[in-house]
């Protein structure tokens, strides 16, 4: 039996992390076996790579180095955590995956989505998500939300110019058009509770035949 690999994507401040946790709790209460995890990170080695990538003092990090580090963290997380869970029939909810690299490094950093896809193909082999929820929020609104939430840690990518985040937004729209079967867009402008409801419905519809 294989489980379901569901990824949550979107720009900064879309609320996806909070919503992912709420959906994981809800599904667990309903009796599903669920793991909630995140990228970059989720396991010790990948969390260490995360701290190198996101350290605000690492201003000289080259774009390709950044892309390779994300791919390396992804590989280790997949092998150590995601694949074993899927093998046991669990539902894996993962905060960000390959689409983040395509959007942030491929498009916004200008490395090219096809180039970044290639290194990720090496990292993930053929393990693409079964379903991806894209939390759609305009960059200026997302960044305002982050600023309003003073508890949230600011990382190196949060510090990018608004243009960078607009490119990320644009990239996600390109990906939505490219993978219409896999990626489902969710309007993230309403309240977190409403967005959570929409996301929960999508996930339930997808796993409904389990
Ligand atoms: P995080 O604090 O988890 O941000 P968020 O709550 O927005 O998910 O930090 C992850 C950052 O790393 C975020 O700015 C997006 C970025 N990122 C990439 O640039 N490429 C990637 O492949 C991944 C997984 C994340």
Output the CA torsion 18→184→46→85 (10° steps). Answer: 90
Strand duo 183-187 + 131-136: pairing: parallel
Å from CA of 101 to ligand 1 middle: 9
The Cα–Cα gap between 74 and 64 comes to 15
pTM score, two decimals? 0.95
Tell whether ligand 1 has an atom less than 6 A from the beta carbon of residue 28. no
**Per-residue pLDDT reduced to its tens digit, 54-85:** 999 999 999 999 999 999 999 999 999 999 99
Class of domain 4-209: alpha beta
Å from CA of 210 to ligand 1 middle: 30
The Cα–Cα gap between 7 and 210 comes to 18
DSSP 101: I
For ligand 1, atom 20, which residue shows the shortest CA distance? 101
Structural contact between residues 107 and 113, judged by C-beta atoms closer than 8 angstroms: yes
Pocket test for ligand 1, best of 17, 39, 157 (most atoms within 8 A of CB): 157
**pLDDT value of position 150:** 66
For ligand 1, atom 5, which residue shows the shortest CA distance? 12
**Ramachandran region of residue 96, left (φ > 0), alpha (ψ -120 to 50) or beta?**
left
**Res 210 pLDDT > 60:** no
Å from CA of 108 to ligand 1 middle: 13
**Residue spans per domain, the chain:** 4-209
* Burial 73-101, CB ≥16 within 10 A → b, else e: bbbbbbeebbbebbeeebbbbbbbbbbbb
């Amino acid at each position: 039996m294989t489980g379901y690999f569901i990824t949550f994507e979107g720009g900064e401040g879309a609320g996806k992390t909070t919503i992912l946790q709420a959906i994981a709790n809800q599904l667990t209460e309903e009796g599903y076996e669920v793991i909630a995890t995140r990228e970059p990170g989720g396991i010790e080695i990948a969390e260490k790579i995360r701290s190198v990538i996101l350290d605000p003092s690492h201003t000289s990090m080259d774009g390709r180095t950044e892309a390779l580090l994300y791919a390396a963290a992804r590989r280790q997380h997949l092998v150590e955590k995601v694949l074993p869970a899927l093998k046991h029939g669990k539902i894996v909810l993962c905060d960000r995956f390959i689409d983040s690299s395509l959007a942030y490094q491929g498009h916004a950093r200008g490395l090219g989505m096809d180039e970044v896809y290639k290194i990720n193909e090496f990292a993930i082999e053929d393990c693409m998500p079964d379903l991806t929820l894209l939390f759609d929020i305009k960059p200026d609104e997302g960044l305002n939300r982050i600023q309003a939430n003073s508890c949230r840690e600011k990382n190196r990518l949060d510090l990018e110019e608004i243009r960078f985040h607009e490119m990320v937004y644009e990239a996600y729209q390109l990906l939505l058009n490219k993978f219409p079967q896999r990626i489902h867009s969710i309007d993230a402008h309403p309240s977190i509770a409403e967005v959570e409801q929409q996301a929960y419905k999508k996930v339930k519809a997808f796993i409904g035949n389990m």
